Structure 1
C-alpha cells in the first residue's frame, strides 16, 4: 500500500526512512497548520537541539486558513542566510559537511516563494545526495480518512513527536548532550555521509502503531 506523507522542511530521519522504504504519495490539498514540520526542522548545535523555522506570510480572511500548497515564505527577512550560517556553525566539523555543502548551499541562495515547492526541493537534494529516486505522485483531493493509501501525515506533527527507537550514530556534540534522536535528515547526512541510505533502509518503523 502507498504511504501518504506531507513534504516537510528537510524531513526528520523517521520521515525520510519512510520515503526511502515505501512508495510515497505527497499530500497536496490539505490546509496549512502551524507548529508542524511543514516549516521547521531540528538540528543539533553546541547548545543542544535547535529549531530552524521558516517564516511564512500570513493571510487574512475570516478564519485565516490557506492551503499548504498556497503558503508563501516571508523572504523580506533573510532567514535563508541565517539558516545556512547556523548549519555551517553546527556541522562544519562533522565528517561529511564539506562533502555535501555544494549541493545544499544553492537552496539558501535561490528566490523560492512557495513553501511546499521549497520543501520538495530539500527532499530532492537529499535524495540526490544519497542516490535514491524522489517520489513525484501527489494526492488528487483532500481526504480525512483515506482508504486506498496508508495515512502517515501524522509524521509532520511536531507537537506529537514520537520517540522512534532509532539506532544511535555518532553526532558532533554527542559528548556534550548525549545522542539526540530523530533530528532532521541533515544531521544524519553530515555525520554518516555515504552510510546514510543504509542507515535509513535499516530503520524499523512501526507506522501502524505510531
Structure 2
C-alpha cells in the first residue's frame, strides 16, 4: 500500500498542510497548475499584537494571466528581509524563537533568485526535517501529465505507484471518484478536524496562521498539537 497526495505549494503553510504531508508516503507538489492571485501560493499570515497579518511574496503577474505556479517568478529580493524582520519583531519573545530561527533565517538570507515554487519547496523541506516528517516530496513535472482534472491526478498517483489517493476535502466539489475506481486506486478524503490550542502570543487564539507560529511557540513539541506527526 502506498498513499499519495497531490497539492499545490503554499508559502510557509499552516499546520494542516504538514499533517497532510505526514499522512502519506509521497507528496507531489502540483505546481504545474495555474497561479492564482490573492491565494496561499505566495502569502500566509502570522500573529501580531494587532491580530493576524499577511506576509506576501511579491511575484511577477503583469501580462501573465495564465502562467503556472512553476513559472511564477518573484518580483525582487527585498521582501525576504522585510519578512524576516516581521517574524523577528513578532516572535522574538516566543520560547523557541532562537532554535527555529537557526533553520528559518538562512532560508530568507539565501533565497536569491529562486522562483516561487522553488522557494516554497525549500521551506516545506526544511520544516519537514525539523518535524521529522519522512514523506518523499516530488514535483508533478517528474511525471507525465494527462488532460482532465481527475484523470491527471489519478495518472500521477498511478505513475508514483500509489494505491491510495488522499485528497483535501475541498476537492469533493470537482473530483470524479469513478475515475479513481476505474484505475484501481482508492480515493480517501483527508479531514483536518478540530485542532487543540497551544501557548500562543498576542491575544485570542488563531489556528489559521503559518506553521511558524506553532514552531516558534512550541519547538519540536509542535507535534503534540498536530495529528499525523506524533
1:56 aligns with 2:59: yes
Selected match of 1:18 from 8, 20, 27: 20
1:34 aligns to what?
Answer: 37
RMSD over aligned Cα, in angstroms? 2.3
In structure 2, runs of 5+ residues without a counterpart are: 158-164, 172-190
Q: 1:188 aligns with which of 206, 210, 214?
A: 214
Q: Which has the higher strand share?
A: 2
Q: Does 2:153 align with 1:127? A: no
**TM-score, normalised by the number of residues in structure 2:** 0.75
- Aligned partners of 2:96 and 2:219 also within 8 Å: yes
TM-fit CA distance, 1:123? 0.8
Deviation of 1:163 (Å): 8.9
State the alpha-carbon separation in 2 of the partners of residues 71 and 16 from structure 1: 23
Q: Spell out structure 1 runs of 4+ moving beyond 6 A.
A: none
Moved more, 99-108 or 129-138: 129-138
| Alignment check: 8 A CA contact 2:73 2:116 kept | yes
If asked which structure has higher relative contact order (CA below 8 Å, sep 6+), I would say: 1
Separation in 2, partners of 1:104, 1:112: 17
For structure 1, which segment, 94-103 or 16-25, has the greater mean C-alpha deviation from structure 2 after superposition? 16-25
Distance 1:134 1:81, change over 3 A: farther
Equivalent pair of 1:14/1:182 in contact (CA under 8 Å): no
Instruction: Give SS of 1:118's match.
Output: helix
**Alignment size in residue pairs:** 191
